[in-house]
Amino acid sequence: AQSVTQLGSHVSVSEGALVLLRCNYSSSVPPYLFWYVQYPNQGLQLLLKYTSAATLVKGINGFEAEFKKSETSFHLTKPSAHMSDAAEYFCAAQTYTGKLIFGQGTTLQVKP
């Protein structure tokens, strides 16, 4: 069965520092992968998606993610954190039936 694992339920960075949120997936065939962000009391907003066109995917708000098949990883990065980036981030894999399987989420804290 497919699964998604996000390493670290909480990540804390200083404003201006690099953001790195880790995601690993299990599958014999690379699935479609997504990163979503959730702000308090809101739904999920799509940050970026991987659909096998390019291994480095750029998303909104300066985020990007790199698909590495050999490591079954899809880590999310941003060169310089802003206070407004504080939120919960979810990595998700889309199965061949179309449903999304989510990781447990990583809460990003940005310190001034």
Partner 1 sequence: KAGVTQTPRYLIKTRGQQVTLSCSPISGHRSVSWYQQTPGQGLQFLFEYFSETQRNKGNFPGRFSGRQFSNSRSEMNVSTLELGDSALYLCASSLARESGGPSYEQYFGPGTRLTVT
Q: Which residues are at the interface with partner 1 (CB under 8 A)?
A: 31-32, 34, 36, 41-46, 49, 51, 90, 92, 94-105
- Residue number with CB closer to partner 1 (43 or 112): 43
Min. distance of Cβ 28 from partner 1 in angstroms?
15
Structure tokens at 46: 């799509």
Min. distance of Cβ 44 from partner 1 in angstroms?
4
- Residue number with CB closer to partner 1 (97 or 112): 97
Reduced DSSP (H G I as helix, E B as strand, rest coil) percent helix, strand, coil of the chain, to 5: 10, 55, 35
Min. distance of Cβ 64 from partner 1 in angstroms?
16
Do 109 and 11 form a contact (C-beta atoms < 8 A)? yes
CA distances from 91 to 3, 58, 81, 111 (A): 11, 15, 18, 23
- Residue number with CB closer to partner 1 (92 or 110): 92
Distance between CA 20 and CA 93 in Å, rounded?
Answer: 19
